[in-house]
C-alpha cells in the first residue's frame, strides 16, 4: 500500500454517483402531486445530502407554502415508490471512479460507503450500477440511530471494515461530510463536482479534487 490510508470511505450522492437527475425527477414528480411547479435541476443539486425528508421539505419550501403532516407523509411514501422504480434511469458513476476503485482494491485498501441516503435505496443503486461488490461496508441514513454529521455512521463503517480511524480517510462533497470526518478526527477530501451550496474549495477540507484521477496522488500527499 503506497500510503497510510488502509480504508477509504465515500459519501454516495454527489461523490460516487451523479444521482441528481433521478433525484430531481422524483422530487418534481411528488411536487406535482400537490400541484407545485417543477424545480430546476441546478437548484435541486444544492438541496441534496441530508436525506429524503429534508429534500422534500426543501422542495416544498422552494415551490410554495408548507403542507400538513398527512400530506407530507403521502409525498414521502410517493417519493420512495417513484424513486425506487427510477433510481438508475440517468444516474451514473462519476468519471474515472471505477478505475480508482479497482486500483485501490488491488492495493489492498478497504472501501466503504457512508451516506444519509436510506440503506434500501443505497443498496439498490449500488447494485444497479454494478458497484456493490467494491465496498466492504455500507451504512445508510437509517442504518443506525444517528446520521451524518454525527460521527457514529462513519465510526461504524470503519468498525465493519476492521480499520482504525488513524488509517482512514473520508471522501465527500459537502460540509456534512467534512463535519463528519472532523467529528471522528480523520482527514477529509472533498470533490468539486458534487452537491453543495458552498463551493468545496471554500469549506476547509484537507484536500479538494476535481477528478477521481487525482485521488491516489492526493492520498499519498496527505500521508
> Distance between CA 191 and CA 207 in Å, rounded?
9
Say if residues 154 and 137 touch (Cβ distance below 8 Å): no
* 68 noted as active-site residue: no
DSSP letters for 86-120: TTTSS-EEPTTHHHHHHHHHHTT-EEEEE-SS-HH
The one catalytic residue in 3, 11, 22, 142 is: 11
Say if residues 46 and 27 touch (Cβ distance below 8 Å): no
> Distance between CA 98 and CA 75 in Å, rounded?
34
Strands 168-172 and 188-191: parallel
Say if residues 205 and 189 touch (Cβ distance below 8 Å): yes
> Distance between CA 75 and CA 215 in Å, rounded?
39
Say if residues 45 and 25 touch (Cβ distance below 8 Å): no
Residues in the chain: 223
Looking at the annotation, which residues are catalytic?
Answer: 11
Amino acid at each position: 500500500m503506497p500510503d497510510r490510508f488502509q480504508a477509504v470511505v465515500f459519501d454516495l450522492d454527489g461523490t460516487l454517483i451523479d444521482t441528481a437527475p433521478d433525484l430531481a425527477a422524483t422530487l418534481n414528480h411528488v411536487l406535482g402531486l400537490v400541484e407545485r411547479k417543477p424545480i430546476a435541476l441546478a437548484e435541486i443539486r444544492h438541496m441534496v445530502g441530508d436525506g429524503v425528508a429534508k429534500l422534500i421539505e426543501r422542495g416544498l419550501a422552494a415551490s410554495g407554502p408548507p403542507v400538513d403532516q398527512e400530506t407530507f407523509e403521502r409525498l414521502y411514501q410517493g417519493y420512495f415508490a417513484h424513486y425506487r422504480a427510477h433510481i438508475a434511469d440517468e444516474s451514473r458513476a462519476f468519471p474515472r471512479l471505477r478505475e480508482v476503485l479497482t486500483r485501490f482494491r488491488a492495493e489492498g485498501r478497504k472501501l466503504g460507503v457512508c451516506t444519509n441516503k436510506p440503506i434500501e435505496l443505497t443498496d439498490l443503486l449500488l447494485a444497479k450500477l454494478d458497484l456493490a461488490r467494491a465496498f466492504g461496508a455500507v451504512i445508510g441514513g437509517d442504518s443506525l440511530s444517528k446520521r451524518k454529521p454525527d460521527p457514529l455512521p462513519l465510526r461504524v463503517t470503519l468498525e465493519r471494515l476492521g480499520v482504525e480511524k488513524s488509517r482512514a480517510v473520508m471522501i465527500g462533497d459537502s460540509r456534512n461530510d467534512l463535519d463528519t470526518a472532523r467529528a471522528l478526527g480523520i482527514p477529509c477530501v472533498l470533490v468539486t463536482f458534487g452537491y453543495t451550496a458552498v463551493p468545496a474549495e471554500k469549506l476547509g477540507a484537507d484536500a479538494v479534487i476535481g477528478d477521481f484521477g487525482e485521488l491516489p496522488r492526493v492520498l499519498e500527499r496527505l500521508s
